[in-house]
Amino acid sequence: MDFQPSPVAVEWRNRIAAFIDLFVLPYNAAWHASAARGEFPAFVEDLKALARGEGLWNLCLPRLAPGEPGTRLSNLDYAPLAETIGRLPWSAEVFNCSAPDSGNMELLQLHATEAQREQWLVPLLEGRIRSAFAMSEPDVASSDPTNLQTSVRCDGEELVLNGRKWFITGAAHPNCRLLVVMARNEDADPATRHGGHSIVLVPADAPGVTRVRNIAIMQHEALEGHCEITLRNVRVPRANLLGEWGQGFVLAQSRLGPGRVHHCMRTIGQCELALELACERALERRTFGHYLSEQANVQEWIAQSRLEIDQARLLVLRAAWSLDQPEPPDDLRAQVAAIKVVAARLQVQVVDRAMQVFGAMGLSPDTPLAWLWTWGRALRFMDGPDEVHLRTVARYELERARARRGSTAAYFTTPDQLSTPPRIR
């Protein structure tokens, strides 16, 4: 077992880190000032062009076809890069590695027709457009997507959609042109749980699509948006159906694995940054004649954060490695579910400790901590709440226990175990 990142990963991570330090970080304050005014900074397009020119583009897509732009790094090799990019969350767009586009691009790579690839995948890979994934709905518990009620029906050569979606990340981005919409087939058998939904590619400006509002998350309104959207008799060509009619769940699953690894590695980068900030602050701030770094409780917070970050990183790297295997292990789904829970909780915990070290300043917009904490809290819902992922892990464990049932009997010391043991010689 080799715990070092591969030479390829080290080389790309160093290139990304140098590019961020030289070209992206100097724009950080300007990016936030622009976001506070609700304006998308124009310099992001310039930075994208620069990054693409340097080959720092589509770093997270291992399955690019010949001729498509990008690095073709494995999930495992991309993971340290995602950690580096995560330290400056808005920088993901500079390298065309943002959620939800990366997941949507994976989905299109796997299931789009030639015409759909041409219309949507190519401009996404080129960074000319952005996209959103529209699943959650206000009227039903969306942790269980079989509840979804937005409807789709066939009408001649068209599909007609009706419904309301919310918390749709990316839908307020000025370049968002595509909504990947999960909808319930009107002709679905009500008894069907997983075969009654389809995914439809809906142009963001299609007649009948209305962006109702950008929903603030813990009082923070994200520039790219977490939007509420209505679909009223939205008509798109039948050719906009992605994959097969009724196969929405099968398709949706395929976009979640790598996307979760990316989220988790970005989280780990953010936790590392929070820990660095906390340590530096503790070394320079004095109370009652001592530096904070000399206080036992602060040392414990620092140590605890280090232990938790390192544990989480190992878990996420294992999931990334598993995703890369030609024959992934049986517990792949449980592994990916586990890292989603661990990373989101980690972020809330580690950033909370850092905020405490900073005192009141930790809650202000002068450090990245308040934003990082908010994001960590939101992560506990994004792509499904903790409880749903824990359920996946528990189900896998129970399935294994069922298969080996009785194998623990010899560990009991009840009287019925007192039969004659086998002779050693």
Ligand X SMILES: Cc1cc2nc3c(=O)[nH]c(=O)nc-3n(C[C@H](O)[C@H](O)[C@H](O)COP(=O)(O)OP(=O)(O)OC[C@H]3O[C@@H](n4cnc5c(N)ncnc54)[C@H](O)[C@@H]3O)c2cc1C
Give the C-alpha separation, 251 to 137, whole Å: 19
User: Which residue in the set 100, 258, 269, 368 belongs to the binding site for ligand X (CB under 6 A)?
Assistant: 100
Closest distance of CB 251 from ligand X, Å: 14
Do residues 253 and 135 lie in contact, with contact meaning Cβ atoms separated by under 8 Å? Answer: no
What number of chain residues touch ligand X (CB under 6 A)?
22
Cis before residue 203, ω within 30 degrees of 0? no
The residues near 203 (Cβ < 8 Å, ≥ 6 apart) are 177, 178, 179, 209, 236
Element (H, E) at 223: none
Give the C-alpha separation, 46 to 41, whole Å: 10
Rg (alpha carbons) of the chain, rounded to whole number: 24
SS3 label, residue 143: coil
Q: Is 391 in the site for ligand X (CB under 6 A)?
A: yes
Q: Is 161 in the site for ligand X (CB under 6 A)?
A: no
Using CB under 6 A, which residues numbered 16 to 55 contact ligand X?
none
User: Which residue in the set 121, 261, 382, 393 belongs to the binding site for ligand X (CB under 6 A)?
Assistant: 382
User: Which residue in the set 97, 168, 341, 393 belongs to the binding site for ligand X (CB under 6 A)?
Assistant: 168
1: Cα separation from own chain's centroid = 27
Closest distance of CB 55 from ligand X, Å: 29
Comparing CB distances to ligand X, the nearer of 43 and 381 is: 381
User: Which residue in the set 79, 378, 392, 393 belongs to the binding site for ligand X (CB under 6 A)?
Assistant: 378
User: Which residue in the set 58, 98, 119, 142 belongs to the binding site for ligand X (CB under 6 A)?
Assistant: 142
The residues near 362 (Cβ < 8 Å, ≥ 6 apart) are 354, 355, 356, 369, 370
Comparing CB distances to ligand X, the nearer of 142 and 185 is: 142
Using CB under 6 A, which residues numbered 169 to 188 contact ligand X?
169
Q: Is 141 in the site for ligand X (CB under 6 A)?
A: yes
Kindly write out the interface string for residues 114-133 of this chain, putting x where it contacts ligand X by CB under 6 A and - elsewhere.
-------------------x
Q: Is 256 in the site for ligand X (CB under 6 A)?
A: no
Give the C-alpha separation, 250 to 245, whole Å: 11
User: Which residue in the set 154, 217, 279, 332 belongs to the binding site for ligand X (CB under 6 A)?
Assistant: 217
Give the C-alpha separation, 187 to 102, whole Å: 31
User: Which residue in the set 173, 226, 260, 333 belongs to the binding site for ligand X (CB under 6 A)?
Assistant: 226
Closest distance of CB 363 from ligand X, Å: 19
SS3 label, residue 54: coil
Comparing CB distances to ligand X, the nearer of 180 and 298 is: 180
Comparing CB distances to ligand X, the nearer of 168 and 236 is: 168
User: Which residue in the set 136, 175, 214, 305 belongs to the binding site for ligand X (CB under 6 A)?
Assistant: 136
18: Cα separation from own chain's centroid = 24
Do residues 162 and 232 lie in contact, with contact meaning Cβ atoms separated by under 8 Å? Answer: yes
Residues contributing to the site for ligand X (CB under 6 A):
100, 133-136, 141-143, 167-169, 217, 226, 378, 381-385, 387-388, 391
